[in-house]
Amino acid sequence: MNFNSASSSVALEDHLDQVQSRTFRFFWDGAHPETGLPFDKCLVSGAPAANIVSVSGVGFGILAIIAAAERGWIVRPDALERLLSIIAHLQRSPRFHGAFAHFIDGSTGEVIHFAERDNGGDLVETTLLMQGLICAREYFDGPAAPESMLRSRITRLFDDVEWSWFTRGKDEALYWHWSPNYGWIMNLPIRGWNEALSAYVLAAGSDSYPIKPESYHSGWARSGEILNGNAYLGTVLPLGEPYGGPLFLSQYSFCVLDPRGLSDRYGNYWDQAVAHARINHDYCLTVPAYRKSGVWGLTASEGPEGYNASSPTSDIGVIAPTAALSSFPFLPVEAESAMRAMLRYEDGKLFGRFGFADAFAPKTGWVAGTCLAIDQGPVVAMIENYRSGLLWRLFMNAPEVRRGLGRLGFTSTTHAIEPPPAAV
């Protein structure tokens, strides 16, 4: 069967199997041969670009391994063995008040500085790692000793994160970075709307270092300034910046946090996710080069001049396949159309050993020579959620998540949420 054909004779499920399973191979075949840690970046040929591991990429890789085990692309014992190896190396990696660095060495786990003054804990990277770890703990729920060991090690890593310390002692926002050499010099509060919604959920749900709800309301929600409510290209966007920004701002948290029926005082999160994707799609229809190729999807990705966060308000002509593919739960018809168009693009030029190349420019013909963990991971996760809801169920079943959502005042018509404690 020619999977590079966009013929309607190729069933959607066959395409999804091929795209999802080949993208998973980035995290399995393309990982460090000794530690199992997925590299931050691989060449489209399959070779690692450098011995660098992004902590968020590890989290996405764990989600991919869970999906692969569930679909039978790998057997459960092999998945468990790989995860135990990953966790063993994470346990040896330096942590800063429980938070991991942005980049670590794939062999030793030692910190690789993201920037001169960004050489310590990165709370958002840590959150994206914890998302994957929590799903793994919920998935490997058997009584055998290896699965029990996996669960206890994951819980210990989570409990060690000093979420409340990252508010700098205030009932305000969580802060993104802390350096042992430069302290809080990066001075970046985590404010919505961005990719870190789940950071507040996990921080509120922590038993050992919980934040107060005030941090969410005054920090993330900016005392209500997170509200938008304006229409863009005919679609009302409940929250966030004009036109929604790059699609990863929604997709990273919603890889695990199920927006179906999820609401709080600020909005309905299914409406937010669908609107964000719809605006991005509809904007791309206005660009002749995208429309001619039948593709859409602006987010953070590689570009001709380096890494770039593309959006309807900052469009450099680059499409990232992860943007449309990770929108399958929200815009399934539009995502399928883009997937078929990208599979046939220049006779299959985009689709390789580890799935789609990270990005391409339809107008100029440029194609990225790499695949990135933080872009490949959401493809596997979101397609799995579209197909089965697996990762959404696992994450939303975790006690930390149910507790955190309840403490922050969320409600869900899809999952049980622990009610907040009664006022004293």
Tens-level pLDDT at each residue, the chain (424 residues)? 444 444 456 899 999 999 999 999 999 999 999 999 999 999 999 888 889 999 999 999 999 999 999 999 999 999 999 999 999 999 999 999 999 999 999 999 999 999 989 999 999 999 999 999 999 999 999 999 999 999 999 999 999 999 999 999 887 899 999 999 999 999 999 999 999 999 999 999 999 999 999 999 999 999 999 999 999 999 999 999 999 999 999 999 999 999 999 999 999 999 999 999 999 999 999 999 999 999 999 999 999 999 999 999 999 999 999 999 999 999 999 999 999 999 999 999 999 999 999 999 999 999 999 999 999 999 999 999 999 999 999 999 999 999 999 999 999 999 999 887 664 3
Considering the domain boundaries, does residue 334 fall inside one?
yes
Cα-Cα-Cα-Cα dihedral of 232, 234, 238, 239, to 10°?
-20
Considering the domain boundaries, does residue 277 fall inside one?
yes
Q: Which helix (H) or strand (E) holds 300?
A: strand 300-301
Main-chain dihedrals φ then ψ at residue 74, nearest 5 degrees? -135, 160
Instruction: Give the range of the structural domain holding residue 277, as residue numbers without chain letter.
Output: 244-388
Q: Do the bridges between strand 111-112 and strand 103-105 make them parallel or antiparallel, or are there none, so unpaired?
A: antiparallel
Give the C-alpha separation, 319 to 362, whole Å: 8
Give the C-alpha separation, 296 to 319, whole Å: 6
Q: With beta carbons less than 8 A apart as the criterion, state whether 418 and 404 touch.
A: no
Number of domains, the chain:
1
Considering the domain boundaries, does residue 186 fall inside one?
no
pLDDT for position 170: 85
What is the chain's length?
A: 424
pLDDT for position 259: 98
Q: With beta carbons less than 8 A apart as the criterion, state whether 105 and 93 touch.
A: no
Considering the domain boundaries, does residue 112 fall inside one?
no
Considering the domain boundaries, does residue 209 fall inside one?
no
Considering the domain boundaries, does residue 350 fall inside one?
yes
Considering the domain boundaries, does residue 59 fall inside one?
no
pLDDT for position 4: 45
SS3 (DSSP) at 216: helix
Give the HSE-up count for residue 83: Cα atoms under 13 Å, Cβ half-sphere.
35
Considering the domain boundaries, does residue 414 fall inside one?
no
Q: Do the bridges between strand 370-372 and strand 41-43 make them parallel or antiparallel, or are there none, so unpaired?
A: antiparallel
Q: What is the pTM of this model?
A: 0.96
Contacts of 422 (CB under 8 A, 6+ apart): none
